[in-house]
Every structure is written in C-alpha cells, then in structure tokens.
Structure 1
Amino acid sequence: MNIMTYKGYTARIEFDERDNLFVGRVLGVKAIIGFHGETVAELRTDFEAAIDFMIEDCRIRGETPARPYSGKLMLRLPPDVHAHAAMMAEVHGKSLNQWAAEVLESAR
C-alpha cells in the first residue's frame, strides 16, 4: 500500500500514468485534501504544505483541525458473529474491546 503520513494524517498515494504524476489524497477527514508532485520529494513537500495549510486555516478561523479518527468505533454485526467474538475474548481472558483492538491491530 502506498501511503504517506505527516502530523498524524495519512494519505493514499497513486501514480497517474496519463499525467506522469504522483497524486495523493488525505484519508479520514471530511475535507477533500489532495496534492501532487512529479517526484516523491515534490509529493512529500506538497502533502506537508497541504496539512500545514489546513491546520493554519483552522487556527485562523478558530476551529480545531479535524483529526482523522477518535479511537472510538461502533460496529453492527450479525448476532452470531458478535457471540463468537465475545466467546473468543473470554477464551483469551480479555474484554471484547481489548480482544477486538488486538485483532484489528494485527490486521494492519
């Protein structure tokens, strides 16, 4: 997976063969934040500038910059999947939250 991170923000990177250009998009924020560069160095510079601009713009407007994720996750699961997950957590001597966090972490 082609990603870049800066100040806690993550972006997905792709290469546009038609324009011979690297393009990126910041993930996990409501605003659409895109950037590009002909080289990886240009891409990195534009990514960091885009994040710094968003943070500064929020400061000027008196807003808190959007953080990608809060760490809270609510899932809707079929009852049998929920029951199995709860059983697996119990087997491992953990709360469902601890067990699920470990399983999701291992999927990275």
Structure 2
Amino acid sequence: MLKYKGYMGVVEYDDVGKIFTGEVVGLASVITFHGRTPEQLEASFHESIDLYLEMCAEDGIKPEKAYSGKFNIRIDPELHRKIALKAIHEKKSINELVKDALKHCLT
C-alpha cells in the first residue's frame, strides 16, 4: 500500500502487461496510477494525487479525504444497551469505549 498526503493507494501487478497498476482507495472519485518499476509506480501515484489536488483547487472544490475518522454502524438495540451500560460503568463515552475496543481488536 502506498501513502502520500493522507491518501492511500492499493497496487496490483499485471503479469501479462508487465506493469504495476494502482488505485487510490476510500474516495468516490477514481484516481489511478501505473508504472513498470516500483519507482515509476510511486512517482505516478504522487503525480496523480498532486494533479487531483490541483484540479480541485482550480475548480474551487474541496478535495475528498480518504477517511474522515467518522463512520456509522448499525447494531441491534440489545447490543447498543450493553455498550451504553459498559460505557457508564467505565466512565467513558460510547465513542471512547467503541474506539478502545476497535483498537484492541486490531492489535
């Protein structure tokens, strides 16, 4: 995975064409890049992001961010109740409790 200016790109290798291709993830906009070597791929990734940001500035559009740090989740009411009670017991907000649980899950 490539990272640049807060954007992330995933890469695949096309064995037939002998070329790396990539796409920026987490956006509604489609931003792609490619290269025959890892160095060309990374340069193309940077150029694609820079071009996207330039075009947004020229058009007066706010660039999309890959991840805002906010997301919604649908859970059943009983689980919601248990989370709320656990948060109260631990003197945390529901947000803090869930954030801590997710961090623990991913480590």
TM-score, normalised via structure 1 length: 0.84
- How many residue pairs match? The answer is 106
1:33 is aligned to 31
Provide the rounded CA distance (Å) in 2 between the counterparts of 1:14 and 1:92. 44
1:32-71 equivalences in 2 (<5 Å): 32-71=30-69
Instruction: Quote the offset at 1:88 in angstroms.
Output: 4.0
Among 90, 93, 101, the alignment partner of 2:99 is: 101
Matches of 1:91 and 1:40, distance apart in 2: 51
Q: Any unmatched runs of 5+ in structure 1?
A: none
Partner Cα separation in structure 2 for residue 83 and residue 20 of structure 1: 54
Instruction: Provide structure 2 residue ranges, at least 5 long, that are not aligned to the other structure.
Output: none
Q: Which has the larger radius of gyration?
A: 2
TM score, norm. by length of structure 2: 0.84
Closer, same or farther: CA 45–90 of 1 in aligned 2, 3 Å:
same
Letter in 2 for 1:57: M
Secondary structure, aligned partner of 1:65: coil
